[in-house]
Chains A and B, each alone.
Chain A
Amino acid sequence: MTNVLHELPPFEAEPATIEKVSIVISRGSLEGVYPGLIMANGARMEGIEADLFFTFFGLDAIRKDRQGRIKVATVGNPGMHLPTLVGALPGFSAVATRMMQRQMEKLDIPPIPEFVELIADSGAGLYACRASVDMFGLTMDDFIPQVRDIISVGEFYGLAAGGQVIFT
């Protein structure tokens, strides 16, 4: 039997890293939802524990009827570098969304429904915010099956204990 142990140069422990992140997604636009998803997926890819907490319009990302229809905000978004009135033209947001989705597909970034499922499959916990759920009059039936629970802010902090909290 060949022992290759001694042939490998010494490799010490992994460099220090974050062990756990709890990411809040609070906005319901395409550019509001993706950063939190990318950070959660990126955490899991590094072996970092991750939980996602969806609040306010961020809930759209886990709503069965809405997660496939999330659009880029073309009004009130200086990043678009467009006159507000142009951004407000009917259908403009849909066109901008399609363009951005095409670009993301090229970079192998999944559409939101597929991305959320991938993140859930990677072992991250998905949670809905109790206050927002009550405010919008929603129940667990409104959410995709990967959502583990509807939890309060206090419970969220309990889950987040010992890790980093990221608000998006």
Chain B
Amino acid sequence: MTTIGIETSVDRDAEGFLTDPAQWNEQIAEEIARESGIPELTERHWLVVRFMRDRFLTTGSAPSIRALGKESGVPVKELYALFPKGPAKLAARIGGIPKPRGCI
């Protein structure tokens, strides 16, 4: 395996969330996914990650699990199958946005 490319440094908080969403790219997403116990991001994973990220970038806050289940196109049962360690939290971490703050 060869390493090409651009030197980028990524700032993360103690829980592994990017502190600056602008530093995010898809390779970083895949790397964080592997580190979080998801060996490969499928199209369904990407659907959720992109929904979380877009919603955060447009509204300034990450969606609740309820909104995620209703609006992302991926139902709650499948969300937990895709992200067993917590869909909202993991999708936020993989999507390079801060940890969701809400209780729901």
Q: Are B80 and A41 in contact (CB under 8 A)?
A: no
Cα of A84 to Cα of B84 in the assembled complex, Å:
47
Q: Are B5 and A2 in contact (CB under 8 A)?
A: yes
Q: Interface digits, B65-99 against A, CB 8 Å rule (1 contact, 0 not)?
A: 11101000001110010001111111000000000
The majority secondary structure among interface residues of chain A is loop
Q: Interface digits, A59-87 against B, CB 8 Å rule (1 contact, 0 not)?
A: 00000000000000000000000000000
Check: A145 CB closer than 8 A to any chain B CB: no
Q: Are B12 and A3 in contact (CB under 8 A)?
A: no
What chain B residues lie within 8 Å of A123 (beta carbons)?
Answer: 77, 80
Check: B22 CB closer than 8 A to any chain A CB: no
Check: B59 CB closer than 8 A to any chain A CB: no
Given A45-B88, A122-B65: A8 in contact with B2 (beta carbons within 8 A): no
On A, residues with C-beta under 8 Å from B are 1-9, 11, 14-15, 38, 41-42, 44-47, 107-110, 114, 118, 121-123
On B, residues with C-beta under 8 Å from A are 1-12, 14-16, 27-28, 30-32, 35, 64-67, 69, 75-77, 80, 84-90, 102-104
What are 29 pairs between A and B in contact, CB < 8 Å? A1-B4, A2-B6, A2-B27, A3-B3, A4-B31, A5-B31, A7-B8, A8-B10, A8-B28, A8-B31, A8-B35, A11-B16, A11-B35, A15-B14, A42-B104, A45-B65, A45-B88, A45-B89, A46-B86, A47-B85, A107-B104, A108-B66, A108-B104, A110-B104, A118-B66, A118-B69, A121-B75, A122-B76, A122-B77
Add 13 more A-B contacts to A4-B28, A46-B89 (CB < 8 A): A4-B27, A38-B103, A41-B65, A44-B80, A45-B89, A47-B84, A47-B85, A108-B66, A108-B104, A110-B104, A121-B80, A122-B76, A122-B80
